[in-house]
């Protein structure tokens, strides 16, 4: 593990800083609106269970990274997933040649949701693109690949929704987009970071080739209110 301790509880850090204006919060619990992201965070393990009940609707599931409450209200289900690799990039990666990369706006929201639904069906919501900047590569009049910014703090920014449509796989689009955005963030003095499953060996290898390194394994859970 290296510096940037705010990345040990990245959802909480984001909701208390960069996305404070989006947060639905109690003293020790905060969450994104469901239309933005299904993410909730606690300040520490001793968060008051009653604050969870004020922020999560019956039947709703939310996801946590890094820190999970020690105690839960009755009839809540906590499921632990395999820890994710939290990777950071502090050296500018080489930018491979390729087609133009364009900012994505409101007119691309439908295509972005359709593309991410192939890979991230639970996490990309109607208003996710309001959480940061998004960029894409258009090929044959279609959104072939994309990348965006999601969680963040004044000192670090998460790269997210990195995906390529199967019809355009193998052309280096994800590598080009990731290198571009990582370089842009580094030039602004912000540390690029991302989360990836250890089982996704292809994506993890791509990030390693670009210069991302493992900062830590970080816990990942779903929490459902019955």
- HSE (side-chain half, CA atoms, 13 Å) at 200: 17
Q: Do the strands 29-31 and 24-25 form a parallel or antiparallel pair, or are they unpaired? A: antiparallel
**What ranges do the domains of the chain cover?**
5-81, 86-218
pLDDT of residue 2: 60
CATH of range 86-218; options 3.40.630.30, 3.30.497.10, 3.90.25.10, 3.40.50.11310? 3.40.630.30
Per-residue pLDDT of the chain (226 residues; tens, 9 = 90+): 468 999 999 999 999 999 999 999 999 999 999 999 999 999 999 999 999 999 999 999 999 999 999 999 989 999 999 999 999 999 999 999 999 999 999 999 999 999 999 988 889 999 999 999 999 999 999 999 999 999 999 999 999 999 999 999 999 999 999 999 999 999 999 999 999 999 999 999 999 999 999 999 999 999 999 9
Residue 35 DSSP label: T
Whose CA is closest to 85, among 199, 202, 225, 221? 199
Distances (CA, A) of 19 to 32, 87, 116, 158, 213: 9, 21, 22, 13, 26
Q: Which of 192, 185, 152, 148 is nearest to 15 (CA)?
A: 152
Phi, psi values for residue 183, rounded to 5°: -65, -40
pTM: 0.95
């Amino acid at each position: 593990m290296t510096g940037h301790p705010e990345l040990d509880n990245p959802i909480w850090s984001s909701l208390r800083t960069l996305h404070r204006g989006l947060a639905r919060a109690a003293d020790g619990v905060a969450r994104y609106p469901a239309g933005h992201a299904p993410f909730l965070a606690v300040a520490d393990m001793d968060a008051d269970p009653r604050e969870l009940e004020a922020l999560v609707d019956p039947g709703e599931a939310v996801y946590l990274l890094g820190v999970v409450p020690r105690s839960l209200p009755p009839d809540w289900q906590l499921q632990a997933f395999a820890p994710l690799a939290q990777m950071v990039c502090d050296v500018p990666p080489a930018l491979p040649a390729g087609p133009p990369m364009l900012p994505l706006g409101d007119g691309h929201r439908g295509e972005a949701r359709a593309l991410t639904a192939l890979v991230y069906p639970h996490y990309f919501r109607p208003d996710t693109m309001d959480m940061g900047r998004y960029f894409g590569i258009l090929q044959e009049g279609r959104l072939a690949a994309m990348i965006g910014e999601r969680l963040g703090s004044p000192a670090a920014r998460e790269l997210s929704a990195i995906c390529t449509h199967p019809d355009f796989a193998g052309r280096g689009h994800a590598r080009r987009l990731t290198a571009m955005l990582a370089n842009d963030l580094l030039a602004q003095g912000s540390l690029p970071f991302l989360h990836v499953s250890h089982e996704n060996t292809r994506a993890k290898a791509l990030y390693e080739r670009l210069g991302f390194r493992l900062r830590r394994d970080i816990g990942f859970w779903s929490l459902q209110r019955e």
